[in-house]
Chains A and B, each alone.
Chain A
Amino acid sequence: MISSFILRALEGRIVVTVCIILAVALLVPASNLLLSPDNALHIPTYVMSLMGKYLCYALLALALDLVWGYCGILSLGHGAFFALGGYAMGMYLMRQIGSRGVYGDPVLPDFMVFLNWKQLPWFWHGFDMFWFACAMVLVVPGLLAFVFGWFAFRSRVNGVYLSIITQAMTYALMLAFFRNDMGFGGNNGLTDYKDILGFSVQADGTRAVLFSLSAIMLSLCLVLASAITRSKFGKVLVGVRDAESRVRFLGFRVENIKLFTFVTSAMMAGIAGALFVPQVGIINPGEFAPANSIEVVVWTAVGGRGTLIGPIIGAVLVNGGKSFFTGAFPEFWLYALGALFIFVTLFMPKGIVGTVQAALANRKAVKAAARAQAQNNDTPSTQIQAAE
């Protein structure tokens, strides 16, 4: 059962993409660790971490594609799930600092000592254990998505209204996390990490492993998303996107279908956030900013929604562009992003991958039509046989 579910995922494009990502997972760290810095092919650590960041964004965009591209739920709050995953990992990293903090408290992170707190708040317990933090990376975003989706999908909130309340959700979380008394470091967030599982977060080796893990997680989630979308469930998802009432009147529980997809997607976003934080070295409430979630939509749209591979390409390209622009002409980045979104919406509504796919499908259809024309004479009889 499970094996046929996974095997179905391994369609040509997906296999090729996974191979590329895994090759990157191997080659980039190898170049960083094995080649000498003077070698032309050597990748400096900061570049590797930057690329690792793109991979996390790619995973976030993939998660969004599952709900937006396939199920038609335009979430403008996926940044919140990403940030929550990031905070869960950040909390683990804070607890690992131990007495090496500025104030030297063996248990309390610096910001708590600074606030004059005497003991660890209840929700910080357990985060000294890596496995617990990893579980929370999935549980917290998943639970929020479940509660949110339970109410929204049951009351049949759809379209723009749903998008607006997802924005409101991430905005509300941002305001909450900005408050010092929430217990997540307020404005400054969580930072100054020392090590992860005993390895220094600054070390090249640790960075290399984090990079590889990001790539591997992206591949795994890509295969999972492909398995989901290529199953009968995936076809129902597209049905919900295109003709929700038809799905309902066929006897499917649309709210459960949406809920499952939304929760799965939120967990993927959480994983992305958790891998992001040790690579950039900080998580703060800015990650909940509504604009962040909107950027994810732009990456996905640029790459091509409903294609799984598109969002990965979109996230890497747009963020690559962003790094270049913010270095070269910082004041123009937002204009460039806006122009890009308008261009894609107007001229490439299917995004990069969607447009290429459509062109290929078109060529195939033309060829097939020509072939059908050629053997027109012997087909009808076989068709009649099939019908009988």
Chain B
Amino acid sequence: MEIKDSKPKSLLYLDGVSVSFDGFRALNSLSFVVEPGELRAIIGPNGAGKTTMMDIITGKTRPDSGTVLFEEKVDLTKRDEADIAQLGIGRKFQKPTVFESHTVWDNLELALNRKRGVFSTLFYRLSGEDRDRIEEILGTIRLTHRRDELAANLSHGQKQWLEIGMLLAQEPKLLLVDEPVAGMTDAETAETAILLREIAKSRSVVVVEHDMGFIRDLGVKVTCLAEGSVLAEGSIDFVSNDPKVIENYLGR
């Protein structure tokens, strides 16, 4: 590793990113920067392109034009999902996606940031270190008491947490979280805000959310997307008083 005199200024850098689906412009010259260690919230109406943006960052969708850089040097548009995950970008889907026929423990074991090749996994043995790490994550996501249960038996909110836990196990530098509190109870929502703030202490997190109460709870910089580009960016009070935001999103 080279020794750098200063930390990189951006962890994630998107500039002029556009993508169309059958002529429909889902992203329109989107530009967006996440700094190392930052927790960022993204709001915007349905169809604004929030999920599409995550698809592009994680290699699921290729942009038609624009730049997507990770740590100022890695061009993400040239990598595939597995590569990008290994670079240190974790992603939580809008719909909770865990391995339902595995136990909570196994879900975390699979996500653990270890060698992922065919033969490494065939001959993998759980080490004490790995066990400790999984137990630590179980505590963080408040699922210690359900570790041996099948993920299918968890409540909706617990599945969301398990998925977040799997991302933690991946030890990403950047975590993308798509609508984590959709369908959660109020208590679960508040708990999730605490959980995300805890997680963001040691890494950058980008959260897409509709729930304005939740965004307020997070108390971080907010970016409002609409029709595929950035409408406004700043504190929640600044953004929610922006006339364009009110017209496009909050006023609806």
Contacting residues, chain A, for B125 (C-beta < 8 A): 4
Q: Which of A51-59, A248-256, A271-279 contacts the other chain?
A: A248-256
Within 8 A of B (CB), among A347-388: 383, 386-388
- CB-nearest residue of chain A to B148: A368
- Given A245-B97, A248-B82, A251-B82, does the pair A387, B109 have CB atoms closer than 8 Å? no
Q: Does A24 contact B (CB under 8 A)?
A: no
16 sample A-B contacts, Cβ–Cβ < 8 Å, listed by A number: A5-B123, A228-B122, A231-B121, A232-B109, A232-B110, A233-B124, A235-B99, A236-B121, A239-B110, A245-B60, A246-B98, A249-B81, A254-B82, A386-B135, A387-B135, A388-B139
Is residue A34 within 8 Å, beta carbon to beta carbon, of the partner chain?
no
**Cα–Cα distance between A108 and B189 once the two chains are bound (Å):** 78
Instruction: List the B side residues contacting A5 at CB < 8 Å.
Output: 122-123
Main secondary structure of the interface of A (DSSP, over half): helix
Residues of A within 8 A of B102 (CB): 235, 238-239
Known: A250-B111, A250-B170. A242 touches B145 (CB 8 A): no
Counting from the closest, the 10 A-B pairs by CB-CB distance are: A251-B85, A233-B121, A232-B124, A248-B81, A387-B144, A233-B122, A251-B86, A232-B121, A387-B139, A246-B97
Do residues B99 and A242 form an inter-chain contact, with CB atoms below 8 A? yes
User: Chain A, interface size: which category?
Assistant: 20 to 34
**Nearest-CB distance from A47 to chain B (Å)?**
39
Distance between Cα atoms of A256 and B117 in the complex (Å)? 8
Contact code string B109-129 (vs A, CB < 8 Å = 1, else 0): 111010011100111110000
- The interface centre, meaning the residue of B93, B117, B121, B139 with most chain A CB atoms within 10 A of its CB, is B121
Q: How far is the CA of A232 from the CA of B125 in the complex (A)?
A: 8
Q: Which of B77-105 contact A (CB under 8 A)?
A: 81-82, 85-86, 90-91, 93, 97-102
For the complex, give the distance between the alpha carbons of A387 and B109 in Å.
Answer: 17
A247 to B121, CA, bound (A): 13
Q: Does B138 contact A (CB under 8 A)?
A: yes
Chain A residue at minimal CB-CB distance from B139: A387
| Range for the number of chain B residues in contact with chain A | 35 or more
Contacts of A130 in B (CB 8 A): none
Query: Of A233, A235, A243, which is within 8 A of B118 by CB?
Result: A233
CB contact under 8 A between A238 and B101, given known A232-B124, A254-B82, A257-B118: yes
Contact B138 A387 (CB under 8 A): yes
Answer whether residue B227 sits at the interface, using C-beta atoms and an 8 A cutoff: no
Whole-angstrom distance from the CB of A357 to the nearest CB of chain B? 12
Chain A: minimal CB distance from B106 (Å): 6
Q: Does B223 contact A (CB under 8 A)?
A: no
Q: How far is the CA of A378 from the CA of B238 in the complex (A)?
A: 52
A158 to chain B, nearest CB (A): 15
Contact A251 B170, CB 8 Å, known A5-B123, A232-B121, A387-B144: yes
In the complex, whether B166 has a CB less than 8 A from a CB of chain A is: yes
Cβ of A260 within 8 Å of any chain B Cβ, yes or no, is yes
Q: Is A328 an interface residue (CB 8 A)?
A: no
Selected from A231, A250, A251, A386, the residue in CB contact (under 8 A) with B122 is A231
Q: Is the CB of A383 within 8 A of B145?
A: yes
Q: Is B229 in contact with chain A by the CB < 8 A criterion?
A: no
Does A203 touch B at the CB level, under 8 Å?
no
Determine if A249 and B100 form an interchain contact, defined as CB atoms under 8 angstroms apart. Answer: no
Chain A residue contacts of B101, Cβ below 8 A? 238, 242
Q: Is B192 an interface residue (CB 8 A)?
A: no
Contact with A along B211-229 (1 / 0, CB 8 A): 0000000000000000000
Chain A residues with CB below 8 A from B113, complex form: 251
> Which residues between 129 and 150 of chain B lie within 8 Å of chain A, taking CB atoms?
135, 138-139, 144-145
Chain B: minimal CB distance from A257 (Å): 6
Residues on A with C-beta less than 8 A from B98 are: 243, 246
* Also in contact, A253 and B124, with CB within 8 A (given A235-B109, A242-B101): no
Within 8 A of B (CB), among A188-246: 228, 231-233, 235-236, 238-239, 242-243, 245-246
Which chain B residues border A252 with CB–CB below 8 Å?
82, 116
Q: Kindly list chain A residues whose C-beta atoms are within 8 Å of the C-beta of B170.
A: 250-251
Interface status of B240 (Cβ within 8 A of chain A): no
Closest to A1 in B: B123
CB distance from A180 to the nearest CB of B (A): 41
Residue from the list B93, B99, B116 in contact with A253, Cβ < 8 A: B116
Which residue on B lies nearest to A248, using beta carbons?
A: B81
Contact of A250 with B109 at beta-carbon distance under 8 Å, contacts A239-B102, A242-B101, A260-B118 already known: no
B18 at the interface (CB under 8 A from A): no
Contact residues of A between 1 and 26, Cβ < 8 Å to B: 1-2, 4-5
In the complex, chain A residues whose CB is within 8 Å of the CB of B118: 233, 256-257, 260
Q: By the criterion CB–CB under 8 Å, are A236 and B110 in contact?
A: yes
Tell me whether A242 and B100 are in contact (CB under 8 A): yes
- B110 CB contacts on chain A under 8 angstroms: 232, 235-236, 239, 247, 250
Q: Tell me, yes or no, whether B28 is within 8 Å of chain A by CB.
A: no
CB contacts (< 8 Å) of A231 on chain B: these are: 121-124
Of chain A, the residue at the smallest CB distance from B163 is: A246
